[in-house]
Chain A
Amino acid sequence: MSELLRRYRAWTVLLVVLLCALPFYLDAFWLRIGLFSMAAAVGAVGLGLLSGTAGQLSLGHAFFLAVGAYGYVWLAGEPGPGLPPAVAVVLAVLLAGAAGGLFSPVAGRVRGIYLGVATLALVFLGHHVLLTADSITGGFNGRSVPPLELGGFTFTASDPELTLLGVPFGAEERLWYLSLALFALTWFTARGLRRGRPGRALVALRDSETAAAVMGVHVARYRSAAFVVSSMYAGLAGVMLALAFRRVVPDYFSLALSVDYLAMIVIGGLGSVAGATAGAVFVTALPLLMTRYADQLPLVAAPGTTDGAVGPTEAARYLYGAAIVLILLFAPDGLHGLVRRTRARIHRRRSAPKDADPATETHPPASAVRAKEPTP
């Protein structure tokens, strides 16, 4: 066991070192993919807690991303109170949590897939507000995002100018480390939640509402709390996206974005932090990569060529739409489960004479929004 733990630690350290070294080797294109992926991962981990762990379907995630993004822009910008950007980040996350809290009378009482329908309202109402409240949101054209500044250090190309080991540190390099730190925070907190008392209560709520209730779990309160927490992660992801995009526009925060996040957690495997991350990277990076390499891909037209050809963005959407269907039909525990099973198989082959731990082999799939058990 401790041997395993040591190996696990070693891999983690190696991964962190690798991620920290990347800005010295990759150009801005790849770094931007990383920025968007990390932001999406933060949001997906939040949605994973709600839909995977607590079994509550939400199609309103785009709304909370918008609250975070616009919250930051307004709080740190002009028009707006023009707060120090670091303060604005924290307040924007809290604002997203508060928005989730306002919806909690619904989120606490409407269950499973029904909540999915109810949360559609948030996306459409939110989009309407973004378009019409133009004194705050800038209307259709959106607003530019004030750069983040932490103790005199600005996350832009200059101020102060910075060159490390011969690599000029522009906005992407700086934001990379910020995103990495925020993602690490997300990873740490979400795992703590998942493995701690709240996580167990939420899993119980998903698997059997009655069992959870008679074990002393306050059903409505925990459902609402899961919703609020998930909104806060979405808010943080919104801030990160805003900083990476440098401009926020209402049309980005559409139903399609909510569906993207759902795709991330389904593809990655519901209910696991690592799975949500993998799904987020997949769904985020795929269209960007396909755009970049469109001319080398069969069946995919270069972006801009319209008239009916399959563009890279569309090709990516076909792929992950189909991925959702196939994964749910054939591998309900997603990428995460696939990796786990492969690892178990390799492990078994290596230690062939010994009995492999059966636990790693046939872990029951964590699936979204379970059915309620029949009334006892």
Chain B
Amino acid sequence: MNDRTTAPPVLDVRDITVRFAGLTALDTVSFTVVPGSVHAIIGPNGAGKSTCFNVLSGLYRPASGTVRLGDTELTRLAPHRIAALGVARTFQNIVTTEGTVADNLMLGRHILSRAGFTASALRLPSAVREQREHLARAREIAELVGLGPHFDSPVALLSYGDRKRVEFARALCLEPSVLLLDEPVAGMNAAERARTAETIRAVRAELGLSVVLVEHDMGLVMRLADEVTVLDFGRVIAHGTPDEVRRDPEVLRAYLGTEATGEDAA
């Protein structure tokens, strides 16, 4: 459904405001994700990064503001419709479902396949063929992120790092044009972090998609991101290339100065 030869559409976030019971979680947040780029959203805990992702994937409805993907307005759409437009995401806390890695990745193929209840129940040839084709593609994606050997293992038996990778691969299985990664390396050791960074770089190059990244690991952000938006208390306080942001005094005060000077060296 998404023609891979063309660049992904622009993701344009304009003046998004989200309130919870009087508390303003996001306050007129705007940024634009350039097609094919890696766009990082950083900020201290509670800055509104995950809220922002929940708006982008349709789980929260903003009080005001718009999110456009190309010409399509996303803020009025249900999550499954947004997924169908090619926006895929991972979760900060791992959310896999019961079954094997293959089962989880095949869930990622849900919107790209169409076998319904009748076809699956009767195992019509079309459904069987479709399942086989998508399974082959899911296996390719598993290989791509380094899950090949675990393809038929139950997710519950995998290591933490591998389960994070399952989420990542599952999101890739949607063949998205925009990939939202919520703290993809949180809780990983140095080797796993480096490997995941490599994978993100590889899939971006290979699949030509836009990546929006929420991450605390400043080293990773600085290495991967083309552009960085910094949130603090629900507001955008800085925006620019990693180098520009790194030198921004406001950012240093709100964020880097307090916590990540050490990690920055990594």
> Which residues of A pack against B, CB within 8 Å?
188-190, 192-193, 196-201, 203-204, 206-208, 210-219, 225, 229, 358-359, 362-364, 366, 373-376
Contact = CB atoms under 8 A, between A and B. Distances in A.
Given A192-B122, A363-B154, A373-B93, 18 more contacts: A190-B121, A197-B114, A197-B115, A199-B120, A201-B107, A203-B98, A204-B97, A210-B79, A210-B95, A213-B78, A214-B88, A215-B108, A215-B111, A217-B80, A362-B156, A364-B154, A376-B54, A376-B92
Nearest to B113: A197
Given A196-B120, A196-B127, A376 B59 contact: yes
B98 A207 contact: yes
Given A216-B83, A364-B156, A188 B131 contact: no
Interface in B127-141: 127, 130-131
Contacts of B174: 215-216
Interface in B91-130: 91-93, 95-100, 103, 106-108, 110-111, 113-117, 119-123, 127, 130
B168 to A, nearest CB: 13
B182 interface: yes
A276 to B, nearest CB: 16
Contact of B117 (A188, A203, A206, A229): A229
A203 B102 CA distance: 14
Given A192-B120, A366-B98, A200 B154 contact: no
Contacts of B97: 200, 203-204, 206-208, 211-212
Closest 9 CB pairs of A and B: A196-B120, A216-B111, A216-B83, A213-B79, A189-B121, A207-B97, A364-B156, A211-B95, A192-B123
Contacts of B89: 214
Contacts of A362: 156-157
B50 interface: yes
Given A203-B99, A211-B97, A358-B157, A218 B59 contact: no
B170 interface: yes
Contacts of A373: 93, 95
Main DSSP-derived SS at the A contact region: helix
Contacts of A190: 121
A213 B89 CA distance: 11
Nearest to B156: A364
A53 to B, nearest CB: 10
A40 B149 CA distance: 41
Contacts of A374: 93
Contacts of A196: 115, 119-121, 123, 127, 131
A193 B121 contact: yes
B107 A189 contact: no
A189 B127 CA distance: 13
A190 B79 CA distance: 28
Contacts of B182: 376
Given A207-B98, A213-B59, A198 B111 contact: no
B57 interface: yes
A201 B131 CA distance: 14
A216 B110 contact: yes
A193 B117 contact: yes
B153 interface: yes
